[in-house]
Amino acid sequence: LRPKLALSTPGLPLPLPLAIEGEPGSEMKFVIPERDPLTETVAPRAVTAAPLAEPARMGPLTLVSPLAGEVVSGRIPIRIELRQPRSYKYVTISIDGQLKGMTNREPFYVVWDTTQAADGPHEIRAKAFGGTEVEIVVSVTVQNLVSAGRNPYDVAHYRTTSRRLGGLLMHGHPPISVERLMLEAYRQQDPEQALDMYERVLAQDPTRVDLVPPLLALYREQGLALDPRTIPEPHEGIPGARRVALTFDDGPRPEYTTPILDLLRRYEARGTFLVTGRMSEKHPELIKAIAADGHELGNHTYNHLHLDTLSRAEVIYEVLKTKVILDDLTGGTSRLFRPPGGHYNQEVRESIAAMGFIPVFWSINGGSYSRLAPAEAAAAIMRRLRDGAILLLHNGGDNTLPLLPYLLAELKEAGYRCVTVSDLLRSPTEAPVLARPSFGPLPPSQLQGYAGDE
C-alpha cells in the first residue's frame, strides 16, 4: 500500500499515523485514528486512494511483481509463482520480446535493470512450458527521470553500485540456477556486467565450481584470456634505460608496509606490491595508500597456498577472490600475478592464462642475502644487478626492511630508476602506466627472460 498517495493530498502536510480500510481491488481509505491529537485541527477524516491492482494470473501462473500498470525505476525483481511446478519443464521471462531469464527451479525470478531501458511503456511476458503452455503479459511504465526539467539520477553510479551489490547478494538466494540466470539475463545485453557478477558470486562461494566454465568463456569472448602456450612469464624487463623493478610479496601489514612506503617516497622510487587478498581485507587502508603513492598492485592469491597442490577450480578461486577485493579497493584491475613461493606448473599456467593474468617472476631474490649485514647484502645485490632486473623483496618479516634503505641509496647512486613492473615490461620510449589502473597483455617478443634464482 502506498501512504504517500495520502500525504500528497491537500490537508496532510505532515506524516501521520494512518489506519487502512478496504479490501484489495476495492476502494481503499487511509484513516487517521480517532484519538490522534492532530485529527481535528490538521487533517480530514479520511483520504481515498485509487484501487490497488492485483497480481496478474493465468491458470497456475502468477506474475507477483511488478503489477500491471505499475510505474517502475531502477533495478526491480520480476517474480513468478507457479502452482504444481513439477508439471512444467521451465519458465521464461521476456521483456519487449527479448528473453531475460529461463529457469526450471524455484524461485522463478529475474532482476531487470530498468536504467538500461527507455522511459515509457514496456511489455513483460512470463511463460510456463510443459504439457500445456501458460502465458501472462502485462505492461509497466519505466520512469527513471525525476521529472521534466530536473536532472536525471546518476545512472553510472547506480549501475556500478547495484552491479556490485547484486553480485554479492546473488549467491545467498535459495537454490536457483544462477548460471542460467546470468547467461540468459545479462550475457547478451551486458557481457561486462555478467562477467562482474560471475566473478563476485564465485569469489564468495568457492563451491560453485559449475560457474567456472561459463566464467572462462566470458574471459575468452571479451578478449581477456591469454594463450598458455605463449603467455609471457618475465623474470626481467626490457633494458636500455637503467631501470629496475622492486617487487614486494605478501602483506600488506602496517608494521612493514608503512615504513616501506616512507622509504620509497624518500627516494622517489616506485614499486610493485604483490599482495594477498586475506591481508588486503584486513588492511584496506594500506592498499589505498599503496595506490595513492603511485605504486602498482598485483595478485598474490588469497590464502598464500602452494598452487601446484590445488585443483584448477581452487587456483581460480584463490586468484579471483583477491582480484575482486583489489578491484573494489582501487577501482581498477591489475593483470599481474605472482605464485606464492614460485610454486608454478602447467595447470597453474593454464588457469591464470584463462583469466588473463601474467605471471611475474624475478631475476634477483633479496632473501638470498639474509645472512649478510644489510649494507653488505645491498652491495652484493648491486654486483649482480643488471639493467631491467626484477628484484624479489617482501612486505613482511624477512631482511627487506633493514636492507631497503641501503639498496635504494646504492641504486640511486648508480643511476638506476625504480619503476613498476608494468613500466619495466614496456620499451623505455613508451609512456609510463603509473596513472592507469589496468595492465594489458604484452607480446612475448617484447620480453627478455631467464631463469632467476629462487
> In sequence order, what DSSP letters do the residues of 175-203 get, joined into one string?
S--HHHHHIIIIITT-HHHHHHHHHHHHH
The three grid cell numbers given for residue 71, joined into one nine-digit string? 510505474
Strands 98-103 and 75-82: unpaired
Q: pLDDT truncated to tens, each residue of the chain (454 aa)?
A: 334 434 444 444 444 555 666 665 556 565 655 544 444 444 444 444 444 467 888 888 888 889 888 888 888 888 888 887 777 777 888 999 888 877 776 667 788 888 888 888 999 999 888 767 889 999 999 988 644 343 444 555 555 666 655 655 554 444 445 445 545 555 666 778 778 888 888 888 888 888 899 899 999 999 999 999 999 999 999 998 999 999 999 999 999 999 999 999 999 999 999 999 999 999 999 999 999 999 999 999 999 999 999 999 999 999 999 999 999 999 877 899 999 999 999 999 999 999 999 999 999 999 999 999 999 999 999 999 999 999 999 998 899 999 999 999 999 999 999 999 999 998 777 655 433 333 333 333 333 332 233 2
Alpha-carbon span 353 to 251, nearest angstrom: 24
- Residue 384: other Cβ atoms inside 10 A: 13
| Residue where the block lists cell 582501487 | 330
Whether 398 sits among the annotated catalytic residues: the reply is no
Q: What confidence score (pLDDT) does residue 158 get? A: 56
Closest C-alpha to 250, from 280, 270, 271: 280
Helix (H) or strand (E) holding 423: helix 421-424
From edge to edge, which strands make up the β-sheet containing 71-72? Answer: 71-72, 134-142, 120-130, 88-95, 98-103
pLDDT at 140: 92
Residue 308 a catalytic site member: no
Closest CA to 164 of 303, 297, 333, 327: 327
Tell me the three state secondary structure of residue 253: coil
Q: How far is CA 121 from the centre of its chain?
A: 32
In single-letter form, the type of residue at position 149 comes to G
What is the DSSP annotation of 21-39? ES-TTS-EEEE--TT-TTT
Cell reading at 20? 487502512
What is the third-level CATH fold of 243-446? TIM Barrel (3.20.20)
The DSSP output letter for 384 is H
Tell me whether the omega of the peptide bond preceding residue 66 falls within 30 degrees of 0, making it cis. yes
- Predicted confidence at residue 183, as pLDDT, reads 52
The one-letter code for the residue type at 75 is R
Domain boundaries, the chain: 1-52, 56-142, 155-221, 243-446
Choosing from 196, 249, 250, 423, which is the catalytic residue?
A: 249
Q: Which one of the listed residues 196, 250, 394, 423 is annotated catalytic?
A: 394
User: Are 166 and 75 spatial neighbours (Cβ–Cβ below 8 Å)?
Assistant: yes
The answer to whether domain 56-142 has CATH 2.40.160.20 is no
How many whole angstroms separate alpha carbon 328 and alpha carbon 323? Answer: 9
